[in-house]
């Protein structure tokens, strides 16, 4: 196939979905890599002295074709995939990582970047340019570019071992999950479980040509079982199996992997000149240092612990009164919490759903964006889509300037992965005096309309839509020079601020009145239902907070220290959990051996981010509340200092410009009902 008839290799603004066939992807990616390589080689081999515009900016804008083609490809692999696309992904992924590795290892290129970096103070760069230079330099230095060759080889060796251990870790967790099944044949054992859930369990059994019902350790099976199953012995059996993944002393045991990964990460950090792995990671986070993360976790623990203990006592008493439980165990937590919640709030999705017709909620989120930022959304029908369910909108500001193209893909179908996310098909940037506006997309899995009923969202789906739309606003309102610093390209512990912030409007009467109307009668959602939603959102918030903190502390117990003295995984974990413990310790369980977030995924030394982001969004929303939730003044400050700025400056600097001070956890603690308002 030639370049000429591959639509991905032609010039395009909107992704040309209707012209793209699967056969176009691989050749386009190979060609785009080749183009990017040429661009980069030209920078690296240029005989002239390295300069900011030539070296750094050209590097920033290199590989544009590759970015556009791969964003289309990988977005489709998530939202509309099939076996062909998955096969192509297998084939192109190694090519792409090889390409990225070659850049990082390109010595001539690094020397160019470094020479600009070394004279950065004489260059009269603005903040965004300084940030770009810093990021480009660190991309090399944090991968060992400054080390002598034998140390570089040592680093590659560590990286190889690390990826092997992480892979083994993940495979063991997966194998442990798949190995276990709870096979029931006596209908009495199903007591308490919802009918539809049992049907799925029966199907799972039937597909294995077995009688009865099969429950597994996968979340969609495990969580409802723990919440509803009345048989305490069976809950215990499930919990022990779930909690001992990778901790059986057999060939799937992960204790060695945990120790190994922690040690390798520490060695890697030391080699690069950092005190610990956490110091290395946090250098590029808003929180900056492990010391700061520690004191953050400690401060919240101190405030949340009394509430958690109170809630635990309440749960204990409830279980005792109801079933005579003398010693509340971990496998009782979800079950009695659910019963207590029902008793206190009696709030179920079916009561709320009629007020949240999808079209109304979309109008609602658009209206909120209009009131805050003056944006309007016009559905357009002349833009290519990858599926007929996708809706496309032109996003305009108050002066009718086109801010973004917005794709919204709401319903599940085969070929779409679970969950909800925001992504993009084109970055925002400015180049040669021309401004390019972004193409932003959100993808969700909301219930489809039926012949009888429109799509009615659960409250959780409503907050999900607001959440993803908050990310989308970050992208749409980007106003930066450089694509790699635009929109949601910010430090990890800062990226959830715009999204979590917008969820707050879902709990406000003033906002709900705009869109939460009964789909048949048009009646606005009653205030007492809103009140109940708020109260139930805070149910057991103390216990949930302490639990989250405990995971952050466990994470740092592995990554914020020199781990070479640790020999006993379980003992280290018990020690880390000591001050957050509510339930009796279970000797046969271990969390670290299945803590994929930090030992397999990218959250090492980052688990605290969940709470950190909540502190930011609560602190921001309090500012709105003080001035009115639709205050244009506060919204403008937020847009000018945060949303439009992307990653152009340190998040703490941006935040202080917006808020006038550093974030404090008080607003979060108040909102969660953990301290007095
Ligand atoms: Zn998010």
pLDDT of 3 over the 90 cut: no
Q: Is the pLDDT score of 638 beyond 80? A: yes
∠ CA 46-49-50, nearest 5°, is: 80
Q: What angle do CA 485, 489, 492 make, to 5 degrees?
A: 135
> In the block, which residue shows the tokens 């945060």?
642
Within a 10 A sphere around the Cβ of 168, how many other Cβ atoms? Answer: 17
The pLDDT tens digits of the residues spanning 115-170 come to 999 999 999 999 999 999 999 999 999 999 999 999 999 999 999 999 999 999 99
pLDDT band at 2 (very low <50, low <70, confident <90, very high): low
CA 471 to ligand 1 centroid distance, Å: 7
Instruction: Tokens for 57, please give them.
Output: 């900016």
pTM score of the predicted model:
0.93
Over range 361-382, report the average pLDDT: 98
User: Which residue is associated with the tokens 């040429």?
Assistant: 38
Q: Are 242 and 234 in contact (CB under 8 A)?
A: no
In three-state form (DSSP H/G/I as H, E/B as E, the rest C), the secondary structure along 280-306 is HHHCCCCCCCHHHHHHHHHHHHHHHHH
CA distance 371 to 635: 9
The pLDDT score that the predictor gives to residue 355 is 97
Cα–ligand 1 centroid distance for 74 (angstroms)? 18
Q: How high is the pLDDT of residue 1?
A: 59
Angstrom CA distances, 18 to 86, 196, 254, 389, stand at 20, 39, 47, 14
> What is the pLDDT confidence band of residue 448, given thresholds at 50, 70 and 90?
confident
Q: How far is CA 7 from the centre of its chain?
A: 32
Percent of all residues in the chain with a pLDDT value above 90, rounded to a whole number: 92
The backbone torsions φ and ψ at residue 434, rounded to the nearest 5 degrees and listed phi first, read -100, 140
pLDDT digits (tens, 9 = 90+) for 83-104: 999 999 999 999 999 999 999 9
| The two structure tokens encoding residue 215 | 């429950």
| Residue found by looking up tokens 């919990």 in the block | 239
CA distance 517 to 355: 5
Q: State the distance from the centre of ligand 1 to the C-alpha of 124, rounded, in angstroms.
A: 36
Residue 677 has pLDDT above 80, yes or no: no
Residue 54 per-residue DSSP state? I
Q: Average of pLDDT values for 650-665? A: 97
363: how many CB neighbours lie within 10 A of its CB? 15
Determine phi and psi for 408, rounding to 5 degrees.
-130, 125
Q: Residues 367-376: pLDDT tens digits?
A: 999 999 999 9
Cα of 469 to ligand 1 centre, how many Å? 9
pLDDT over 70 (residue 315): yes
Per cent of the chain over pLDDT 70 is 100
The pLDDT confidence band at residue 317, using thresholds 50, 70 and 90, is very high
Q: Is 441 helix (H, G, I), strand (E, B) or coil?
A: strand
CA of residue 534 to ligand 1 center, whole Å: 21
Q: Tell me how far the alpha carbon of residue 464 lies from the centroid of ligand 1, in angstroms.
A: 9
Q: How far is the CA of 300 from the centre of ligand 1 (A)?
A: 22
What mean pLDDT is predicted for residues 603-615?
A: 95
Q: Per-residue DSSP letters for 380-424?
A: -SSS--SSTT-EEEEEE-TT--EEEEEEEE-S--TT--SS-EEEE
Element (H, E) at 8: none
Rounded CA-CA distance 383/367 in Å is 23
CA–CA separation, 606 and 501 (whole Å): 20
613 alpha carbon to ligand 1 midpoint, in Å? 10
With contact defined as beta carbons under 8 Å apart, do 393 and 469 qualify? no
Helix axes 358-373, 459-476, angle to 10 degrees: 40
- Using the predicted structure, report yes or no on whether residue 347 has a pLDDT greater than 90: no
pLDDT of residue 675: 84
Using DSSP bridges, classify how beta strands 439-443 and 402-409 pair: parallel, antiparallel or unpaired: parallel
Tens digit of pLDDT for each residue in 43-87? 999 999 999 999 999 999 999 999 999 999 999 999 999 999 999
CA 459 to chain centre: 20
Mean per-residue pLDDT for 379-391?
Answer: 97
pLDDT at 447 over 80: yes
Q: How far, in Å, from the CA of 492 to the mean position of ligand 1? A: 10
Residue with tokens 């020397």: 111
The dihedral sign for the CA sequence 558, 561, 563, 566: negative
- Secondary structure class of 478 (helix, strand, coil): coil
Q: Which residues are identified as catalytic?
A: 468
Residue 529 · residue 351 · CB < 8 Å: yes
End-to-end Cα distance, the chain: 67
Q: Is the dihedral of CA 57, 60, 62, 67 positive or negative?
A: negative
- Average pLDDT, stretch 396-424? 95
Tell me, in angstroms, the distance from the centre of ligand 1 to residue 468's CA: 6
Average confidence score pLDDT of the chain: 96
Per-residue pLDDT of 203-255, as tens digits, reads 999 999 999 999 999 988 999 999 999 999 999 999 999 999 999 999 999 99
Distance from Cα 642 to the centre of ligand 1, integer Å: 16
Phi, psi values for residue 643, rounded to 5°: -60, -45
The set of residues, in sequence order, having a beta carbon less than 8 Å from that of 66 and lying 6+ positions away, is: 29, 32, 33, 35, 36
Query: What residue has token string 């309440």?
Result: 314
Distance 467 CA to ligand 1 centre (A): 6
For residue 4, pLDDT over 80 is answered with: no
In whole angstroms, give the CA distance from residue 297 to residue 546.
9
CA of 8 to the centre of ligand 1 (A): 29
Max alpha carbon distance in the chain (Å)? Answer: 82
């Amino acid at each position: 196939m030639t370049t000429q008839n591959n639509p991905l290799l032609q010039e395009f603004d909107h992704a040309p979905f209707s012209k793209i066939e699967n056969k176009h992807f691989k050749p386009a990616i190979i060609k785009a890599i080749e183009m990017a390589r040429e661009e980069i080689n030209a920078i690296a081999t240029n005989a002239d002295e390295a300069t900011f515009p030539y070296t750094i900016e050209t590097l920033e804008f290199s590989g544009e074709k590759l970015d556009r083609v791969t964003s289309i490809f990988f977005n489709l692999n998530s939202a509309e995939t099939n076996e062909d696309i998955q096969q192509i992904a297998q084939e192109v992924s190694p090519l792409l990582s090889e390409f990225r590795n070659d850049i990082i290892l390109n010595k001539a290129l690094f020397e160019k970047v470094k020479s600009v970096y070394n004279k950065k103070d004489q260059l009269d760069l603005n903040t965004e340019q300084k940030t770009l230079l810093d990021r480009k330099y660190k991309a090399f230095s944090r991968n060992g570019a400054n080390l002598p060759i034998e140390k570089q080889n040592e680093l590659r060796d560590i990286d190889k071992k690390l990826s092997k251990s992480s892979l083994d870790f993940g495979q063991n967790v997966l194998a442990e999950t798949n190995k276990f099944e709870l096979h029931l044949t006596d209908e009495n054992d199903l007591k308490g479980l919802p009918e539809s859930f049992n049907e799925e369990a029966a199907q799972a059994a039937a597909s294995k040509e077995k009688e009865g019902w099969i429950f597994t350790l996968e979340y969609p099976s495990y969580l409802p079982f723990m919440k509803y199953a009345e048989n305490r012995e069976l809950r215990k059996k499930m919990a022990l199996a779930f909690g001992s993944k990778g901790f059986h002393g057999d060939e799937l045991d992960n204790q060695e992997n945990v120790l190994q990964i922690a040690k390798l990460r520490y060695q890697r950090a030391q080699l690069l000149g950092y005190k610990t792995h956490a110091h290395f990671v946090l250098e590029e986070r808003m929180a900056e240092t492990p010391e700061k993360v520690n004191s953050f976790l400690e401060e919240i623990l101190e405030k949340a612990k009394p509430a958690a203990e109170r809630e635990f006592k309440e749960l204990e008493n409830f279980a005792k009164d109801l079933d005579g439980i003398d010693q509340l165990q971990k496998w009782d937590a979800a079950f009695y919490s659910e019963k207590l919640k029902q008793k206190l709030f009696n709030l179920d999705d079916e009561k709320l759903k009629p007020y949240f017709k999808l079209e109304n909620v979309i109008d609602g989120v658009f209206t909120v964006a209009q009131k805050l930022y003056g944006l309007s959304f016009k559905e357009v029908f002349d833009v290519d889509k990858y599926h007929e369910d996708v809706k496309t909108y032109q996003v305009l500001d108050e002066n009718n300037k086109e801010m973004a193209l917005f794709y919204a893909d709401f319903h599940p179908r085969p070929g779409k992965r679970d969950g909800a996310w925001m992504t993009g098909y084109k970055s925002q940037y400015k180049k040669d005096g021309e401004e390019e506006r972004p193409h932003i997309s959100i993808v969700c899995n909301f219930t489809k309309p039926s012949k009888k009923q429109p799509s009615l969202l659960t409250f959780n789906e409503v907050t999900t839509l607001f959440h993803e739309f908050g990310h989308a606003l970050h992208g749409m309102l980007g106003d930066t020079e450089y694509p790699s610093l635009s929109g949601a390209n910010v430090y990890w512990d800062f990226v959830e601020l715009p999204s979590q912030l917008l969820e707050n409007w879902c709990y406000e009467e003033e906002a709900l009145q705009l869109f939460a109307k009964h789909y048949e009668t048009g009646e606005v959602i009653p205030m007492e239902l809103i009140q109940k939603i708020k109260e139930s959102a805070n149910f057991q918030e103390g216990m949930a907070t302490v639990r989250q903190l405990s995971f952050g502390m466990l994470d740092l117990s592995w990554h914020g220290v020199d781990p070479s003295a640790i020999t006993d995984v379980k003992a280290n974990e018990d020690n880390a959990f000591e001050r957050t413990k509510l339930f009796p310790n279970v000797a046969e369980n271990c969390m670290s051996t299945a803590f994929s977030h930090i030992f397999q995924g990218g959250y090492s030394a980052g688990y605290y981010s969940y709470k950190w982001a909540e502190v930011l969004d609560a602190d921001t929303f309090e500012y709105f509340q003080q001035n009115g939730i639709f205050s244009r003044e506060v919204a403008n400050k937020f847009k000018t200092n945060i949303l439009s700025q992307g990653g152009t400056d340190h998040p703490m600097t941006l935040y202080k410009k917006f808020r006038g001070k550093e974030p404090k956890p008080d607003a979060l603690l108040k909102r969660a009902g953990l301290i007095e308002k």
